[in-house]
Structure 1
Amino acid sequence: MSDLSARLAPHYSAFRVAERLLLTGHSHQAWPDVALQGQIAAFQDAALAADEKWGRAFERADRVRAGFRLFLDDPGAELALGASTHDLVLRFLSALDLSRRPRLVTSDGEFHTLRRQLTRLAESGVELVRVPAEPAATLAERLAAEVDDRTAAVLVSTVLFETARLVPGLAGLAEACRSRGTELLVDAYHALGAVPFDTEGLEEAWVVGGGYKYLQLGEGNCFLRVPGHADTLRPVITGWFSEFSRLSGRTLPDTVGYPAGAARFAGATYDPTSHYRAARVFDFLAAEGLTPALLRRVSLRQVALLARHFDALGAPDGLVTRDRTGSPHEFGGFLALRTPYAAQLQQGLARRGVLTDSRGAFLRFGPAPYLSDAQLAAAMEALAAELAALSAPGLAAAA
């Protein structure tokens, strides 16, 4: 596959992707210029229709659902939308009977959305089991071994946010959960747009994710895929949008009822601008042929290119290294470098015009389809310069 940047970069002129080394593609990709058209359309509809704008807004929300269904490879998915995965995870957790099943199982490699919230629940008496995320190859199996009749849910990512490692064997974990009556919530955020999602064996799993990262949708565009058996649950955290069908009568309902499907996990009044923007971006991705399969090929090629340039630096493993175990297909859409100087290197790269990020001991380089091969090489040249400065006599010891 060839470099796509010459074709794509002109569509991202507002973000100036051809002039900047934006290696934060695993966290926040640039928005195509059509995103602005979506935001303007949201304002225009509000100005034109005032409170009657919601019919138009809901049309955009349905288009966003359709876009997510494509990347989930699940045309019939029931999707509740939310401003963040945290909003949606809260609704999910509130539907669990934690008094009867007070145990939650997760890994120690989950993103802060789960890490912080689950830690707080543990402080309030919920039993929390954290399984080591490494090695990722056996994580699903080790999570399954922790499931018992007191376990309300298992919560795990498809791609680990620090290391980019894919977590295989989730279908087996789903079967272990099903046999015990335990819910399984899968965080697909680091998969969508970088790794095609496989729903086989996960039909009864909950799936949470969003478009802030690889899908270029910006903030406010997250979803919770609701399995069919969710109609037996009554989330405590529930928005009034779940009552639309009951609010048309003369008297307000005096009981909390729930509709079927994803509307059971609906929220309340929100800013629809994000959906206008996302609908335009999904249309753009389709028009440019940026399918899940193509985006995976682009991602594999770009991450491999970054890895080759990094290996050519010959940096000592004690200074910075990468995981060379497994095949490229066992990793997601970014290159994770392990180093005790992750934050320092990230700051130095930023001063050189290369935007990356760091998470603990990992420095993360996230390419995107609009970046050229030359830009990826330039980013690694900047890393070489930073490593040389770090290795200068006395500097590493003082860091």
Structure 2
Amino acid sequence: MTTVDDLRRAPNALAAHYRRFRVADRLLLSGHSHQAWPDVALEGQVEAFEDAARHVDDKWEHAFARAEEVREGYRRLLGDPDAEIALAASTHDLVIRFLSGLDLAARPRLVTTDGEFHTLRRQLARLAEEGVEVVRVRTDPVDTLAARLAEAVDDGTSAVLVSAVLFATSRIVPGLDALAAACQRRGVELLVDVYHALGVLPVRLSEWGLETAWVTGGGYKYLQLGEGNCFLRLPGHADRMRPVVTGWFAEFAALADGERPDLVPYGRGAARFAGATYDPTSHYRAARVFRFFANHGLTPPFLREVSLHQVDLLARRFDQLDLPEEVVTRDRATPRECFGGFLALRSPHAGELRAGLAERGVHTDSRGEHLRFGPAPYLCDAQLEAAMDALGDVVRARTFGQRGFG
């Protein structure tokens, strides 16, 4: 079984399984945004083509079997073996269906934070333009965020929408269990985005107190599933909702309403959040990657152990650089276990630093004033150290050379 030491040394024990992404030859520190795919992912894509060629229109029973494998993969990651899981190409597709099922006429208030990913940020901003009341609670201080979200809920609130791990800073949001309880008391829906948690945090919905919450996320980041593999986990009361945005696949298991035959019928559970005809290639790919993770013992507890080691190494190496605080710094007051799977450095020049690193072959990204280093299990310690050392080179070259910052 793979150990952390196996991944620390060069060559990394997993790197040989990612030859097509050349992870051993490149400094890919954008793992919080897009991790490399193992080579078996290509086998899944080829299998999708071969099933289509062999079975033509009868391919769908094979495609649906792969979709069920993907649902099972997410159930394991959520620690919810009986979960109703709806799938879609993006979290936006699923969030739109969720929002369309809320009674915004009666309860026109949505509560969220000012630190959500673009899926929520943009869509909620557009709804606000149409008259929906959108309340954005400041993320800082994160330790009280859940409590402040609960305080913002009133009888006119339809839903609270929040991330379990903030995508810009990597901070884990504590107290979601109390927020869920507050929402349940008020009859308010709670949607929790776990995109930046799955694959670097062991997620157990029962332990997190989120049994009554809607939970969304996907596999494009830490799970290495690639695009097109997002999910919405439905709570037990989901059958009360009739999403306005609904695809014809939702009719497969639909039951007519005997009392209101004039209404559009829905199936039960995840079926009522189904879309329409889709490209199943992503599910074939994801099924292969889920198997790969299982075969190599890449369980959530082990991946958390790897992540903590890698992010801690990056943080210590950064501190050793002793760079000017006004140029780039990090949060040293918060314990490492309060963060997710990447190191967020704060700098007014984050974009310039990212560009300078790219010139040196180091792939990172920046969001506003945050420069993000996202490691992955297939990187060895020497690669992480080299990537951070490159940051020192960029800062010193631009601070003390002819071209300064800004």
Q: Could you state the TM-score of these two structures normalised by the residue count of structure 2?
A: 0.95
Instruction: Kindly indicate whether residue 5 of structure 2 is the aligned counterpart of residue 2 of structure 1.
Output: yes
Match of 1:380 among 354, 379, 388: 388
Greater shift, 68-77 or 32-41, is seen at 68-77
CA distance in 1, matches of 2:402, 2:142: 37
**Structure 2: which 5+ runs fail to align?**
256-260
CA distance in 2, matches of 1:33, 1:268: 29
Counterpart residue number, 1:145: 151
Q: CA deviation at 1:332?
A: 0.3
CA distance in 2, matches of 1:206, 1:89: 10
**2:404 counterpart SS class:** helix
Match of 1:307 among 301, 306, 315: 315
**1:228 counterpart SS class:** coil
Q: CA deviation at 1:169?
A: 0.2
**1:155 counterpart SS class:** strand
Q: CA deviation at 1:203?
A: 0.5
Instruction: Kindly indicate whether residue 240 of structure 2 is the aligned counterpart of residue 237 of structure 1.
Output: no
CA distance in 2, matches of 1:292, 1:214: 11
Match of 1:337 among 330, 338, 345: 345
Instruction: Kindly indicate whether residue 214 of structure 2 is the aligned counterpart of residue 206 of structure 1.
Output: yes
Checking the alignment, whether the CA contact within 8 Å between 2:163 and 2:192 is kept in structure 1 is: yes
Instruction: Kindly indicate whether residue 367 of structure 2 is the aligned counterpart of residue 363 of structure 1.
Output: no
**1:241 counterpart SS class:** helix
Counterpart residue number, 2:290: 282
Match of 1:126 among 113, 125, 132: 132
Counterpart residue number, 2:175: 169
Counterpart residue number, 1:250: none
Instruction: Kindly indicate whether residue 34 of structure 2 is the aligned counterpart of residue 28 of structure 1.
Output: yes
Give the alignment of 1:57-136 within 5 angstroms: 57-136=63-142
Counterpart residue number, 1:267: 275
Q: Could you state the TM-score of these two structures normalised by the residue count of structure 1?
A: 0.97
Checking the alignment, whether the CA contact within 8 Å between 2:252 and 2:267 is kept in structure 1 is: no
Per the alignment, do residues 245 and 261 of structure 1 end up closer, same or farther by CA in structure 2, a change over 3 Å counting? closer
Amino acid at match of 2:284: Y
**Pairwise CA RMSD:** 1.3
Checking the alignment, whether the CA contact within 8 Å between 1:3 and 1:373 is kept in structure 2 is: no
Q: CA deviation at 1:348?
A: 0.8
Checking the alignment, whether the CA contact within 8 Å between 1:212 and 1:219 is kept in structure 2 is: yes
1:245-291 CA-to-partner distances (Å, cap 9, x unmatched) read 359xxxxx964101111111111100000000000000000000000
Counterpart residue number, 1:192: 198
CA distance in 1, matches of 2:117, 2:74: 21
**1:166 counterpart SS class:** coil
Q: CA deviation at 1:345?
A: 0.7
CA distance in 2, matches of 1:360, 1:321: 14
Instruction: Kindly indicate whether residue 185 of structure 2 is the aligned counterpart of residue 179 of structure 1.
Output: yes
Q: CA deviation at 1:234?
A: 0.4
Q: CA deviation at 1:396?
A: 2.9
Checking the alignment, whether the CA contact within 8 Å between 2:165 and 2:196 is kept in structure 1 is: yes
Counterpart residue number, 1:258: 266
Q: CA deviation at 1:324?
A: 1.0
CA distance in 2, matches of 1:42, 1:134: 45
CA distance in 2, matches of 1:120, 1:40: 39
Q: CA deviation at 1:54?
A: 0.2
**1:208 counterpart SS class:** strand
Q: CA deviation at 1:197?
A: 1.2
1:268-327 CA-to-partner distances (Å, cap 9, x unmatched) read 100000000000000000000000000000000000000000000001211100111221
Instruction: Kindly indicate whether residue 26 of structure 2 is the aligned counterpart of residue 16 of structure 1.
Output: no
1:127-186 CA-to-partner distances (Å, cap 9, x unmatched) read 010000111111001000001100000000000000000000000000110010000000
Amino acid at match of 1:347: A
**Structure 1: which 5+ runs fail to align?**
248-252
In the comparison of the two structures, how many residue pairs are matched?
A: 394
Checking the alignment, whether the CA contact within 8 Å between 2:254 and 2:267 is kept in structure 1 is: no
Checking the alignment, whether the CA contact within 8 Å between 1:188 and 1:208 is kept in structure 2 is: yes
Question: Identity of paired residues, percent?
Answer: 67
